[in-house]
Every structure is written in structure tokens, then in C-alpha cells.
Amino acid sequence: MARSMRAARFYGPGIDIKVEEIPYPTPGPGDAIVRLAACGICGSDVHFLEGMPVPGGVPFTLGHEPAGIVETVGDGVRAWKAGDRVAIHLGSGCGVCRPCTSGHPNCCPALIAPGLHIDGAFAEAIRVPVGSLVRVPDGVSLVAAAIATDCVASPYHALKCRARLRAGERVAVLGCGGLGLQAVSLARVLGAEQVVAVDVSAVALERAARAGASACVDVSGTDPAAAIRAVIADGADVVIECVGAPETVAAGVRALVPGGRLVVVGVGMMPPAIDLPQAIFALQELSVLGSFGSHQADLEEILALEAAGTIDIEASISHRLRLEQVGEGLEMLRTRRGDPQRIVVEIAAP
């Protein structure tokens, strides 16, 4: 009988996730089969539950924050072998298009991302092109490596590659969920002098204080830009927007000092309403930038920071679930029940 595996399958909004037996993946040329150890649950998984179409269609296996151990490799693969500990990066671009050759492979129109375009990692094993594998250093757990792939590498990319944060600058983070909290601690690691954490949840702000925020402001019913300026009078050099709402994008612009950069990390579908005279962008040399995912080099640097003990990714995990609990975990994240920070699914060998 053909080999099979367990996978948590998504059939569409409003339909319960079902853990089913599906055919075990086999590697094509240039692929690896990775036996999965862990996969984080991300806010963007919740968008699919709420109706955003899955690029790969349904039924589908979600999960784009994985790590595990290489089991087999396909023809032509020499750099990887069975037993290698790997994190799976969010996607490998085609390598030849303009975005790929101009330093934006994460924006390749032909991006192949597990959990978005090809079956993801809420399963016992996954088939991926070896171009998306990143080696996990000794001493870094596979659970930490899983969370690193998106939740940590994405805000790192936003701060380092997009905002080009310099030591001594002042940063504000709008929205302190999974990614935002990492942005707070990474801004500190990159030398920010002040980090203002902004949220509407007391629990999130307590966590932000522990993550190294120099000020935590609850903006329930108040203007986030005014709240940031109450702490940083001139305005912030860098604002990281992790909410994905029109109001927070606008507030981010209004919170900037001349020369400041707003980096939009949040993914929202509404048009942003920036209620400011256009001249402000010219007169104050303001920049509005987007940031999506990360580069493999970002993930490698994050794993090195974890190996060196500079950051502590496991401390950000609030809940550990089993594969059978993927649906429950997604629902927890959607409703914020139990105040999840990062939920990780640990995938046990059968």
C-alpha cells in the first residue's frame, strides 16, 4: 500500500479543518522531503479562514512557518542530505525575473511558498524546492527555527533592509502581536535608542515591556500618532506598522520626524486614507515603504543571533499544540482567546 501521512486540511472558510491521511510526498528533481518538527500559526493563516483566497486552491494544507529534518532528496541535489536540520524559508523566487535580480526575490511573481502556493507544513512531511532550505545551527531548537522563518525574520527584514534602521534612532511599533513584539526586541538588538510599543491590549503591552520597549502606550480610543509624539516629541525616525488597517497607516505617517520612514508590514485590503496635504511628503522627506517576508540572508542572521543567545525566540511562544489541534489554534488566534503571542504546532513522529 502506498505510504500516507497525516495533514491538517483546509477546505474553505466556515468549514472545520480536518486531520486526514493523504499521500506521502515524493521528491521531484531539486526537491527535498522534510520530516516536519514544528510549524508556527501566523496571522495570515487566519486571513484564509476569513475568506482571503488561498493561492494554491482548496483543499489545501496551510502552514508557512516550518522547520524539520531532511528525509530524502530528489535528483540533482548535492548540498543537502538525510538528517540535515532545516528551516524552510517562505519561498524561493524564479531567480531570473526583475524582482529576483534586483534584490527583491521575496516579491517574485512566480514565488513558490509552502502554505500559500504549495501544500504547507501542518502535516508530518512536506515537499519543497531545496532553494528554500536554510541550515539550523547546533543549539537552536527546531521549534525556534520554525518561528524564525516568518515571525522573526519578517520584522527583521522590515527594520534592517527596508527601514535601514541605524543605531541611536527612535522607533515606534504599531500593533504588538506576534510580529510586532519581535520588531520591538529586534529594534533594540539593532541599536534603537527608544522603542515605543503601541497597542490596544494590556497583555500585548506588558509583553512589549518585557521585550525591551522603552515606552508602552495603550491607544484605545486615542490617536496613535499623538500618543507616539507624547513620548518622542519630534516624531519617530522609523514606524513599523504591523496592523494592516488604513487608520494605522495614516497614524504612522503622522508620527514621523522629517526624514522618517514608515514601513508597512501589515497586510490589509482596504485603501489607506492618508489625511494629510501631499506637500508634507516633499517638505519633510517622508518615506512610506512596504516589507514582505524576508530574504534567506535575514533568516540565516536570525538563526545566528539565536545560536549566540542574543535573542530568545522560544520565550515568545505562548502555546504549543499538536497537529490535531491546528483548527483550535487558528480559532484561538482569530478570537485572541487566551491572549496568544505565538502558537506553535509541534508535530510528533507517528
Q: Is 58 in the site for Zn ion (CB under 5 A)?
A: no
Binding segment toward Zn ion, per CB under 5 A, in 86-94, 125-133, 316-324, 340-348: 86-94
Map residues 23-52 to x or -, x wherever contact with Zn ion holds by CB under 5 A: -------------------x-x--------
CA distances from 53 to 2, 25, 49, 205, 243 (A): 31, 24, 9, 32, 20
- Residue 110 or 209 with smaller CB distance to Zn ion: 110
Name the minimum Å distance from CB 135 to Zn ion.
21
CA–CA separation, 308 vs 213, rounded Å?
A: 22
Min separation Cβ 142 and Zn ion, Å? 18
**Count of residues binding Zn ion (CB under 5 A)?**
8
Nearest to 89, CA basis, from 138, 156, 25, 22: 156
Q: State in angstroms the smallest separation of the CB of 306 from Zn ion.
A: 18
The reply to whether 150 sits near Zn ion by the rule CB under 5 A is: yes
Strands 60-61 and 66-73: unpaired
Does residue 201 interact with Zn ion by CB under 5 A?
Answer: no
Q: Which is nearer to Zn ion, 151 or 253 (CB)?
A: 151
Among 91, 93, 178, 340, binds Zn ion (CB under 5 A): 93
State the number of CA atoms in the 13 A half-sphere of 315 facing the CB.
Answer: 12
> Candidates 96-104, 197-205, 325-333, 342-350 — which segment interacts with Zn ion by CB under 5 A?
96-104
Residue 298 contacts Zn ion per CB under 5 A: no
Q: Is 108 in the site for Zn ion (CB under 5 A)?
A: yes
Span near Zn ion by CB under 5 A; candidates 142-150, 163-171, 208-216, 297-305: 142-150
Task: Find where cell 527608544 sits.
Answer: 194
Q: Which is nearer to Zn ion, 68 or 293 (CB)?
A: 293
> With binding defined as CB under 5 A, does residue 97 bind Zn ion?
yes
For Zn ion, the binding residue among 5, 52, 58, 94 (CB under 5 A) is 94
Q: Considering only 14-22, 87-95, 198-206, 262-270, which stretch makes contact with Zn ion by CB under 5 A?
A: 87-95
* 150 or 237: CB nearest Zn ion: 150
Strands (E), the chain: 4-10, 18-23, 31-41, 60-61, 66-73, 85-88, 125-129, 133-135, 170-174, 194-199, 215-218, 236-241, 256-264, 287-290, 317-322, 342-346
Q: Which of 100, 323, 343, 347 binds Zn ion (CB under 5 A)?
A: 100
**Torsions phi, psi for 148 (to 5 deg):** -60, -35
Closer to Zn ion by Cβ: residue 182 or 194: 182
Report residue 278: phi and psi, to 5°.
-55, -30
Which long-range contacts does 83-87 make (Cβ < 8 Å, 24+ apart)? Answer: 84/133, 84/135, 85/135, 85/136, 85/142, 85/145, 86/32, 86/34, 86/133, 86/134, 86/135, 86/136, 86/145, 87/133, 87/134, 87/135, 87/136, 87/145, 87/146, 87/148, 87/149, 87/299, 87/303
| 24 versus 292: smaller Cβ distance to Zn ion | 292
Report the distance separating Cα 259 and Cα 199, nearest Å. 24
Q: Tell whether residue 287 is a contact of Zn ion (CB under 5 A).
A: no
Residues at the interface with Zn ion (CB under 5 A): 42, 44, 93-94, 97, 100, 108, 150
